[in-house]
Amino acid sequence: MQSPLVTEALFHLGPVPITAPVAVTWGILAVLGGGAFVATRRLKLVPGRGQALLETIVATIDAQIRDTMQADPAPYRALIGGIFLFVLTANWVSLIPGLEPPTAHIETDAALALIVFAATIGYGIKARGLVGYLKTFAEPTWVMIPLNVVEQITRTFSLVVRLFGNIMSGVFVIGIILSLAGLLVPIPLMALDLLTGAVQAYIFAVLATVFIGAAVSEGEAPAPRRDSLQKER
């Protein structure tokens, strides 16, 4: 059995090895971008069915961000909504035979988590200034500085591993089942994977929102993960 932890390069562009997740992500990029371009080319004041769906998605994302951060969602809409849509699409790519979700490989998850990490720092500095943002590490006392730094890193790592483990385990289990019994048996597990993929995409987006909100919010302790989850639900 092939290890789920290694990725083979499909081909090389010069010195750059192009692996399957990268290629699939390109496909997702093309589909999502093209779809968005086509779908938003003729927006009307009186929405059709597709436009109503788009607006519902956007409005829902806005509502979730507003509920979680208690702030205007406009600056964070593109980041949070884009991450959510990408992770969801990537998780559901396994519906297409022969394709593996890019999120089943740790590089994609690490890239996403790095982007969230950078965005957290960037939004925090933008909201409080560099000194102000650095001071938040000394809350409630300077003794907490190492713990806060470690928390920043571990929660990002946790973000990576959570998404990677969930999706990869789904793919792995389905691979095992396929090797044992080919026909119809993996279907319930694939359905479960769809559910897991949607939930994980949602959780990833919500956690990114919580991190950014904690970095941005003035003088408030970072919102506890669980409270925020229950509150916004």
Does 179 interact with another protein (rule: CB under 8 A)?
Answer: no
Site string for another protein, 56-85 (x = CB under 8 A): --xx--------------x--xxx-xxx-x
Site string for another protein, 193-232 (x = CB under 8 A): ---x--xx-xx---------------------xx--xx--
As measured in angstroms, the least distance from the Cβ of 187 to another protein is 21
Q: 63, 95, 96, 114: which one contacts another protein (CB under 8 A)?
A: 114
Restricted to residues 136-175, the positions that interact with another protein (CB under 8 A) are 158, 161-162, 164-166, 168-169, 172
Contacts of 2 (CB under 8 A, 6+ apart): none
Here the tokens at position 133 are 């943002």
Q: Of the two residues 54 and 190, which places its CB atom closer to another protein in the complex?
A: 54
Does 33 interact with another protein (rule: CB under 8 A)?
Answer: yes
Does 191 interact with another protein (rule: CB under 8 A)?
Answer: no
Chain contacts with another protein (rule: CB under 8 A): 3-7, 9, 16-19, 21-22, 25-26, 28-29, 32-33, 36-37, 39-40, 43-45, 47, 51, 54-55, 58-59, 74, 77-79, 81-83, 85-86, 102, 105-108, 110-112, 114-115, 158, 161-162, 164-166, 168-169, 172, 196, 199-200, 202-203, 225-226, 229-230, 233
